[in-house]
Amino acid sequence: MAELRTVPGGPAAAPVVVPGGDRDGRFASRMIIAGASILSVVALAAVFAPLLSQWGETEIDAANTLVAPGGSHLLGTDGNGMDIWSRVLYAARLDLGIALAAVALAVVVGTLLGLVAGYFGGWLDDVLMRVVDIFQSFPTFILALAVAALLGNGTINLIVTIAAVNAPAYARLVRAEVRSLRELPFVDAAITSGASPAGVLWRHLLPNSLTPVRVIAPLNCGWAMLTLAGLSFLGLGVSIPEAEWGAMISLGAADVVGGRWWTSVPPGLALFVCVLGFSLLGEGLQDRANAKRR
Amino acid sequence: MTVLSIENLSVTIRRPGRQVAALSGVSFAVRPGEVVGLVGESGGGKSMVARAVVGLLPGGSHATGRVRLGDSDVLRMDDAALAAHRGRGVAICFQNPRGALSPTRTIGKQLVDRLATHQDMSGDRAREAARELFETVGIRSAQRRLDAYAHELSGGMAQRVMISLATGCAPELLIADEPTTGLDVTLTREILRQFRHAADTDGRGVLLISHDLASIAEVCDRVVVLYAGTVVESGPAAQVLREPAHPYTRALLRSVPDVGGRPVVATPGAMPLLTQEPDNCPFVARCAHADRTCSTRRPPTAPVPGGGEWSLACFHPQTRPLDAGTPPPPAAEEKGAETGANPKPAVLEVEDAHVVYRSRFGSGGHHALRGVTLRLAPGETLGVVGESGCGKSTLAKLVMGLVAPTSGTVTVAGRALVGQPGRPRPRGRALRRARTRAQLVFQDPIGSLSPRRTVGDSIAEPLRAAGLSPAQREERVTAVLDRMELDRSILKRYPHELSGGQAQRVGIARALVGEPDLIVFDEPTSALDVTVQAQILDVIADVAADADRASVFISHDLATVRGFADRVVVLYLGRVVEEGPVDVVFDTPRHPYTRALLGSAPRLGPTTGSDGEAVELVKDLEEADAATGCPLAARCPFATGRCRTEQQELQSYGESRAACWRVPELPALIGRQAVTP
Amino acid sequence: MRILRFVVRRLLQLVPVLLGVVVLAFLLVRVLPGDPVRSILGQNATEEDAAAARARFGLDQSLWHQFLDYLGGLLTGDFGTSIQSGGSVGSEMALRVGPTLELVVISVTFALVVATVLGIWSAKRANRAGDHSIRIFALVGNSVPEFWLGLVLVLVGYSILGWFPAPNGRVDPDTGLTPLTGADLVDAVLTANGPATASAAAYLVLPVLTLVVGVVAPLLRSVRASALEVLHSESYAAAKAHGLRDRTLHHGYLLRATLVRLPSLAALVFGTAIGSTVLVEYVFSWQGFGQWALRGLLYRDYPVVQASVLVIALCYVLVFLIADVVHAILDPRVRL
């Protein structure tokens, strides 16, 4: 015991406190609250855009093109004389709407495919998974570019594009989940209790395999917004005069080099903050899910 | 002189919205060369003691008292002192050895790391010492094993490596946290001997933590019994185990089934989860001897008069012998006579069934069952025993129609539940109805309930398939709840809100609700604590006694089977090696494997002198492979050339049948083995 | 030897996948709305002009014929002729791949190092201030639109501070750099051209920074998560409880076990980076592969689109192959 340092202890009755144990959940909660607050603000801005700005979405102030912030234009105007501030607000409608709709579509389609492939296996699984493989052997943004070029512009087409690029990931996720759930005793229990295959799928596997989907979906919404904006930036998504953050950034890109920052910076900032909201929410949820698993 | 001395240790874990008093005033000591058993059920605080000794209390812990190692207090060590203390002062063997070994470092390197840190060895000398250590813990071809990774080891081998890692730290105190969980009986003994060896030859203090009193009893010098974070009884192992004085220790011991046939006595209730140090006896709610004093004052720990080191925390120490007043049940014989008299149509018929799991890649596959034949009449209970990997669970799945036989047939209540060679494939509603005639009770009680379905939903599942109306379902469900002694409020709860015991009652309720012809219990109590296990065994015994139903009870634990099975089947590597009436097989085993199993089964109290006749198998199960001939040939001490080449069929020996041609010679052979080991 | 056999087997398995990609790309470009020929002809071109142009590019042949021609060309290394420029697709591409690979490889390498160091550092301080800052940084990186970040960096680094060159190319043309591989920094170093090296490096800073911020975030999160998993694992707890020194713990029990999962993620991120280059090159006028492929797609330049799809797919699967090999070397549980 010679090498053990003797630490002069206090009285045995004084408690020794091991720190930690109470902070694990707090950061996750804060992230969730921050993310949800950001998203609420963005949603409110989208809804009440007409009240928050005196200019319309596509209203042109022909006398004042590319004016700097201040005066009657809070954030200045772009090269067409449209008010940046009001367009940043209006753009939230299209950006949020398309992203949410696309992710919802991807979740529904991907989950169904994953469920069926994972539970029944066999040739169906093989075919579905090969299709997913081909989809996933391209970087997702490249894939989105290709699909967008194929389908062309338009809100519905953009929703379908972004959903199509994301659905394979959900299919794979749900399939993996179903395959591991299928090995658990409760599925055997359902089968020996006489449940039909549809019953096993619908009543037992579906509700349990959605857990990871719920965590991934918010993060995915953020990604969908970035993709949408990226497509618009390259001219393959929403195009001017409709208000969309990516298209607005694109319009002002050339002016930035000359130091006229107000056309591109504000819409980008709005996009960034909104995506950050989704990221915070998703990360917080993931933390919470991990904590529960441990 | 003590290695470890714990004085009045209390640990409370405070987290937001939750506070748990994990330990309340625990005191005991371990001396050099002594093996101390720390026993009790989960939630008793065993692991918390281990964590306190290693200095790894969880975050949010508030600890008082002292944990002395030599002359320093572990609770109050700074980081540097703790680093020196861990390993050299105390080394711990973890419960799940395969998980506790690093997956990306060879086990040889992991051991060398310990030797380098604590014994200043390096290079070839460390490697040589590592090889020697591997050999001492019984690892064959140690040199080659040095370069193995954790995933290449079997469970038993991993535990041996874990022990070598812990002893490689040259600690003064060795802690083993449930070292034999998940290991088969034949291996358990061997592993436990390693700890005795560490205490005897190296003079280390050993703290052996286990929920299973019976299995560690024989290697311990003293035992300490924990209940709800308090020490209720401690003293020399022989005394505490043979004539326990604390009602909880007595309840614990009486809950353990015994291969000798001593009946299990269940204690109602469950261990309380304390939020603060108790000011009464924590066992008061479950104790038959409790009075007002017990519920208002906490009993102090006091030595038992004339008991030496024996001490107790109880106002009403019990002195009667443990078994008094519980006559052996006469029921078994009556039942046996009854089933023999009038043969009814069989509920379950398995004819020469083989199951081969095809390997996913290419040829070969795992032959899980090789020609099993069974027949079961209504009212009969069949016990199936064997070690892990013997095909028990496959048999359960086969009977339930979850696995199709590769050849042979399985008939349940006259119908096939799955496609079988040469029979029409059952499907649709008829199949679903047929399935409900046989029900399975699972090993993992909580995992067998759908996590996002309410308990009520789960129980009613078989009725849904039978097409009953909601009203009828509710009626049947409430009836079965009453039989399981469950409260109605449980119907609205979710599986994760249940205790293991409650979940298993729900599982049995689900099996019972459709009034099936056959219930298969697949290791239904192996995931449960001892006193809970006793309660569930009570319930199962009651269910199995229903006259119009047949039951199959599968277990690795011979003792639980003995309680209520009429007949027993011993499986080894997918073959039936012995079968017969339960008492005949257990009292006069024929097959060498059955003898080995029974010989290594833990026994409480005075052993019946059968030790001299026990067969010792020569290798671990994982190392033996069944080629041609007798599957046991590779491990059997009596194997001859004929055993290795000739397939063994079941032959009648008295009332039972065994698949071994040497049965008549065995008694003489065993006598010789005992003399010259 | 086992690894070599694995690589060969995987390369053989690639053949059908790439063949599938070739067929798919060939069919899909022809489904794209828009006519490639119309885009090179003027407004007032007649129907005859268009027909003549179609014949020139072989677009009047049957689909089968076109495909077999294309496939035959591929086998001899001929990617066809660009409809837009009239030049050889193969040689155009050779000029474009170098600059893009340089950008991606530098960014991903940089991101890997940063992510490994910060991720493990962060995990060791889980739930303390340092860890929280790293996590917020990762979330920011995850959320920022790269093309916008590029613009902001140009605004700050060029327009306001003037520290970096304008976003108009990859190297100052006055330095007289002789192109060898197309990757300008590499070429400058190889030709020992000092001014060109400095110029190429200066041009690289902003686009690399842009890519790194986007790419480092997912890597960082994953390294942190897997380091945390190792730190919480029973095996790490066991090693710690046996009193091993911090150095031994870090090198023997934390590092390798943490990095086991990094290769496949790095491959995925490499793909993401290739996708991002399309945007980043656009912002910085990088004139690399991404911009070239994008223009091909926008103008329906069939041979260009087909070639870029094939190259991206090839690149992606090769990177995944490398990742699998590295994974197998790191993780003894993986059997090749």
The string of pLDDT tens digits covering residues B539-587 is: 998 888 888 899 999 988 888 888 778 999 999 888 899 999 988 998 8
Is residue C285 left, alpha or beta, with left meaning phi > 0 and alpha meaning psi from -120 to 50?
left
Closest in B62, B81, B465 to A17, CB measured: B62
**What is chain C's alpha carbon radius of gyration, rounded to the nearest angstrom?**
24
Q: Which two tokens stand for residue B434?
A: 């047929």
Burial of residue A289, with CB atoms counted within 10 A of its CB: 0-12 exposed, 13-18 middle, 19 or more buried:
middle
Q: State the nearest Cα–Cα gap between A45 and chain C, in angstroms.
A: 20
Q: Is residue C45 part of a domain?
A: no
Provide the whole-model pTM. 0.82
Residues contacting residue C245 through CB under 8 Å, at least 6 positions apart: B83, B117
Q: Is residue C213 part of a domain?
A: yes
* Confidence band, pLDDT 50/70/90 cuts, at residue B332: very low
> Average pLDDT in the C245-262 region?
88
Residue B441: its pLDDT value, please?
Answer: 93
Residue C220: its pLDDT value, please?
Answer: 92
Question: What are the structural domains of chain A?
Answer: 93-294 (1.10.3720.10)
Asked if C333's CB is within 8 angstroms of B105's CB, the reply is no
Asked if A196's CB is within 8 angstroms of B8's CB, the reply is no
A183 contacts chain B (CB < 8 A): no
B674 against A176, higher pLDDT? A176
Q: Is residue C110 part of a domain?
A: yes
Residues contacting residue C159 through CB under 8 Å, at least 6 positions apart: A256, A257, A258, A259
Nearest CA in chain A to C158: A257
Asked if C332's CB is within 8 angstroms of B151's CB, the reply is yes
Asked if B104's CB is within 8 angstroms of C256's CB, the reply is yes
Closest in B73, B84, B402 to A192, CB measured: B402
User: In one letter, which amino acid is B671?
Assistant: G
d(CA B304, CA B39): 19
Last-in-domain residue among B293, B312, B331: B312
Interface A-B: count of C-beta contacts within 8 A: 148
Q: Is residue B536 part of a domain?
A: no
Long-range contacts of C163-168 (CB under 8 A, 24+ apart): C164/C202, C164/C203, C164/C205, C164/C206, C165/C199, C165/C202, C165/C203, C166/A257, C167/A257, C167/C206, C167/C283, C167/C284, C167/C285, C168/C285
Q: Determine the residue among B85, B104, B164 to mutate to test chain C binding: the one whose Cβ has the most chain C Cβ atoms within 10 Å.
A: B104
Nearest CA in chain B to A206: B452
Nearest CA in chain B to A198: B428
Nearest CA in chain A to C274: A139
Q: Is residue B422 part of a domain?
A: no
d(CA C53, CA C60): 9
Nearest CA in chain B to C241: B86
Q: Which two tokens stand for residue C211?
A: 């890519």
Residue A97: its pLDDT value, please?
Answer: 92
Closest in C33, C159, C316 to A137, CB measured: C316
Q: State the nearest Cα–Cα gap between A201 and chain C, in angstroms.
A: 31
Cis peptide before A241 (omega within 30 of 0): yes
Is residue B355 left, alpha or beta, with left meaning phi > 0 and alpha meaning psi from -120 to 50?
beta
Asked if B78's CB is within 8 angstroms of A4's CB, the reply is no
Convert the pLDDT of each residue in A258-278 to its tens digit: 778 888 888 889 999 999 999
Last-in-domain residue among B285, B312, B339: B312
Asked if B452's CB is within 8 angstroms of A208's CB, the reply is yes
Q: Determine the residue among A256, A263, A274, A276 to mutate to test chain C binding: the one whose Cβ has the most chain C Cβ atoms within 10 Å.
A: A256
Residues from chain B that touch A29, judged by Cβ atoms under 8 A, are none
A203 contacts chain B (CB < 8 A): yes
**Residue B514 to residues B377, B399, B478, B510, Cα–Cα distance (Å):** 19, 17, 12, 8
Q: Which two tokens stand for residue B530?
A: 């001892």
Asked if C242's CB is within 8 angstroms of B166's CB, the reply is yes
Residues from chain B that touch C252, judged by Cβ atoms under 8 A, are 102, 105, 109-110, 113
Q: Is residue B504 part of a domain?
A: no
d(CA C146, CA C167): 15
d(CA B67, CA B83): 16
Asked if B402's CB is within 8 angstroms of A12's CB, the reply is no
Nearest CA in chain B to C252: B105
Nearest CA in chain B to C238: B100
Give DSSP secondary structure letters for A128-170: HHHHHHHHHTS-HHHHHHHHHHHH-SSHHHHHHHHHHHHHHHH
Mean pLDDT is lowest, of A20-24, C164-168, C314-318, for: A20-24
Tally of structural domains, chain B: 2
Residues from chain B that touch C237, judged by Cβ atoms under 8 A, are 56, 94, 100
Last-in-domain residue among B290, B312, B334: B312
List subunits contacting chain B, requiring 3 or more Cβ pairs under 8 Å.
A, C
Q: Is residue B195 part of a domain?
A: yes
> Average pLDDT in the B474-482 region?
92
Share of chain C above pLDDT 70, in %: 98
Closest in C235, C243, C330 to B102, CB measured: C235
List subunits contacting chain C, requiring 3 or more Cβ pairs under 8 Å.
A, B
Tally of structural domains, chain C: 1
Residues from chain B that touch C245, judged by Cβ atoms under 8 A, are 83, 117
Asked if C330's CB is within 8 angstroms of B88's CB, the reply is no
Nearest CA in chain A to C318: A137
Nearest CA in chain A to C141: A276
**pLDDT, averaged across chain A:** 83
Q: Is residue C16 part of a domain?
A: no
In terms of average pLDDT, the best of A163-167, B177-181, B556-560 is A163-167
Asked if B96's CB is within 8 angstroms of C241's CB, the reply is no
Q: Is residue B448 part of a domain?
A: no
Q: Determine the residue among B452, B498, B519 to mutate to test chain A binding: the one whose Cβ has the most chain A Cβ atoms within 10 Å.
A: B452
Task: Enumerate residues 235 to 254 of chain C having a beta carbon within 8 A of any beta carbon in chain B.
Answer: 235-245, 248, 252-253
Q: Is residue B505 part of a domain?
A: no
Asked if C253's CB is within 8 angstroms of B149's CB, the reply is no
**pLDDT, averaged across chain B:** 84
Q: Is residue B285 part of a domain?
A: yes
A191 contacts chain B (CB < 8 A): yes
C259 contacts chain B (CB < 8 A): no
> Average pLDDT in the B499-523 region?
92
Which CATH number covers residue C224? 1.10.3720
Convert the pLDDT of each residue in B82-94 to its tens digit: 888 888 889 999 8
* Confidence band, pLDDT 50/70/90 cuts, at residue A3: very low
* Confidence band, pLDDT 50/70/90 cuts, at residue B359: low
Nearest CA in chain A to C311: A138
d(CA B202, CA B3): 13
Residue A246: its pLDDT value, please?
Answer: 85
Question: How many beta carbons lie within 10 A of that of residue B173, not counting itself?
Answer: 22
Residues contacting residue B232 through CB under 8 Å, at least 6 positions apart: B225, B226, B246, B248, B249, B283, B312, B313, B314
- SS3 state of residue B58: coil
d(CA A78, CA A68): 9
* Confidence band, pLDDT 50/70/90 cuts, at residue B414: confident
> Average pLDDT in the A221-237 region?
89
Residue B454: its pLDDT value, please?
Answer: 92
Asked if C239's CB is within 8 angstroms of B110's CB, the reply is yes
Q: Is residue B133 part of a domain?
A: no
Asked if A261's CB is within 8 angstroms of C127's CB, the reply is no
**Rounded to 5°, angle at Cα B115 from B113 and B117:** 65
Q: ipTM score here?
A: 0.86
Convert the pLDDT of each residue in C139-149 to its tens digit: 999 899 998 99
Asked if B400's CB is within 8 angstroms of A193's CB, the reply is no
In terms of average pLDDT, the best of A10-19, B615-624, C202-211 is C202-211
Which CATH number covers residue B36? 3.40.50.300
Enclosing domain of residue B571: 566-677
Q: Is residue C236 part of a domain?
A: yes
Residue C327: its pLDDT value, please?
Answer: 86
Report residue B96 CA to chain centroid gap: 14
Asked if C145's CB is within 8 angstroms of A268's CB, the reply is yes
Enclosing domain of residue C254: 105-299
Residue B110: its pLDDT value, please?
Answer: 93
Convert the pLDDT of each residue in C275-288 to its tens digit: 888 889 888 888 88
> Does residue B325 have a pLDDT over 70?
no
d(CA A27, CA A30): 5
C192 contacts chain B (CB < 8 A): no
Residue B336: its pLDDT value, please?
Answer: 43
Nearest CA in chain C to B95: C234
Chain A contacts to C (CB-CB under 8 A): 20, 23-24, 27, 134, 137-142, 145-146, 149-150, 152, 219, 222, 226, 229-230, 233-236, 246, 249, 253, 256-259, 261, 264-265, 268, 271-272, 275-276, 278-280, 283, 294
Asked if B118's CB is within 8 angstroms of C256's CB, the reply is no
Interface A-C: count of C-beta contacts within 8 A: 128
